Amino acid sequence: MKTSKNTLMKKMKSIFAVLLLSAGVLLFNSCGKSNNNSTNPTSNGNVPVQDANVSIQNFAFSPATVRVKIGGTVTWTNKDATPHTATDLNGSFDSGSLPVDQTYKATFNTAGTFTYHCTIHSMMPNATVIVGN
Ligand SMILES: [Cu+2]
């Protein structure tokens, strides 16, 4: 009786240690991720980049504004579990229904500000591609 209790305690202790370790690893990983984000290149900054990436996640375009050079390409990736579109309000580009995990690319050869939205979900906030050198 005493022996089996001790064994149980040992088991619980090792399970607890594993849990603690995984929590630590998770914490460490999330720190690393946020660091990576803050050192991400300037696709949403003041300097236009050649190519920019936009994630569609949690029913939002992220980053909501990207700046690319004339001739630059924007790649949208649907990271949600439901289809979305990236559709220019003035019709200059339209991904159509973009399935989960798929990407859509548009190349911008004209300077300007392109506001776009998702035609499937009207509650999703508009987003912007700014093109200019
Ligand atoms: Cu959508």
Token pair belonging to 127 = 């987003």
pLDDT tens column, 41-83: 445 567 899 999 999 999 999 999 999 999 999 999 999 999 9
Per DSSP, the three-state class of 18 is helix
* The predicted structure's pLDDT at residue 43: 52
Q: How far is the CA of 35 from the centre of ligand 1 (A)?
A: 28
Q: Are 108 and 70 in contact (CB under 8 A)?
A: yes
pTM of the model as a whole? 0.67
Compute, in angstroms, the gap from residue 124 CA to the centroid of ligand 1.
6
Ligand 1 centroid–CA 15 distance in Å is 42
Q: What is the pLDDT of residue 47?
A: 86
| 5-41 tens-digit pLDDT | 555 455 545 544 443 344 444 334 433 333 333 334 4
